Amino acid sequence: MSFTALHRAVGATPGPLTDDLLDAAVAAGTTEANDLDWKGDLPPAKGLTQTDFPKDVAAMANSGGGLIVYGVEESQKAATGRVDAGEFDETYERTLRSAAITAISPPVFGLNVHRLEGGGKRAIAVEVPASIDGPHLIYRNDYFGAPIRNDSDTVWMKERQIEAMYRARFEERRHASEALDALFGEASAGRDSDTRAWLIAVAHPRIPRFRDRTTRDMARYVLSETERLALTYASRNGGVHPLENVDRNNPRPGLRRWVAVSMAIGDHSSWKEAWMSIHHDGSVTLAAAVGGHRKSRDTYFEGWEVASSAIECAIADVMALLRTTAEATENEEYDVRVGIEWTGQEPLTILTTDNFGRTYDGVSTPLYRYTPVETTVNAVESPLDYHWHVHDLAQDCVNQGGISNVQVIQPPARSDPEAPPLTWTRGH
């Protein structure tokens, strides 16, 4: 669900962007605003980057996001009727998204394109997300500028405005780093990292969307969907999944979050202890013991010895949790941090396996400190692209210990068909 300028104009509650909603807004003579721009015909697909489309998208992104609607006539900035916007197909939609990336710097990702057809009059609504990467610039030949919405008009920023927006960008990055620091500190607190290594992974939405508080049923559903998705990244046969060692059916309430507590405490399975949390703002955390795992029935690795498969399975789980939580809480871009906490005397060692499946440390690089790996991901991008992000993050994490390749997370071929997207309804 979304809440756009059209919803606001007609007094509608958050929900899908529909043809009826557009008709109601046009009938009401809704006027353009900072977050709403009426357009008639679609610009030509050929040479789209040289049209006003990049400028309009950049202006919306620089102004906190908004809606550009093609297929509406206007007079004195007020909608007067609908017209046919023109031919629109999947190729054209890809061209729109490409222009928002290639003709704007930094790129504007995450456009939502809605096709609306009423009475044979096609309309296209381009939903531009809010951005913390402003100012977004467009280039024309040797010149560049930063457009911004001024009520119903698009104007060019002055130098002081550009300076202020850059300052805001750096301030937002500082806040984002502080948010990750706080999550990481909470997730790692109290772990016995002096006796065994712990993998700590946290993710925070770059622009949290505070909607309804997450319910226990929603948290339970998210954890169930997470298991299904995680196993498409890394199978059960590859290693120990932290997700399978938390109580997914009975998440407990925490401070503005739900916590899936470990089921591996105080018995012979304590070596695979794990904890997960889903926050109401869409943040997620994972703390999983990865050192001292069992090698065979009666033997265990030392606390500083970490199998690369344990790292891969943990990343598959937390990235699946991130994606399912993002869909449930309607978040998109996330900052992610993955680290391994070890405070013992011996250097941390990441182990792999040889061609016969035996544990092998011949290529391991002893680590006296594991440097946390950070990345930014779009949690609602295509399943194929997201799978590659999971793979690349895991590879970065094991590379640090001298391991060249991941073994459990097998990346799909670039040409493979995409997996079906997740679906979520708030009424679940």
Q: How high is the pLDDT of residue 356?
A: 61
Q: How high is the pLDDT of residue 204?
A: 96
Q: How high is the pLDDT of residue 267?
A: 66
Q: How high is the pLDDT of residue 355?
A: 66
DSSP string of 21-86?
HHHHHHHTTPBPBTTEEEESSPPPSTTGGGSSHHHHHHHHHHTT-EEEEESEEEETTEEEEE----
Placement of tokens 């096609």 in the chain: 122
Q: How high is the pLDDT of residue 178?
A: 92
Q: Which stretches of the chain drop beneath a pLDDT of 70?
A: 1, 210-211, 266-267, 355-357, 414-428
DSSP string of 109-177?
---EEEEEEETTEEEEEEEEPP-SSPPPEEEETTEEE-EEEETTEEEEPPHHHHHHHHHHHHHHHHHHH
Amino acid at 165: M
Q: How high is the pLDDT of residue 360?
A: 72
Task: Check if the beta carbon of residue 3 is closer than 8 Å to that of residue 127.
Answer: no
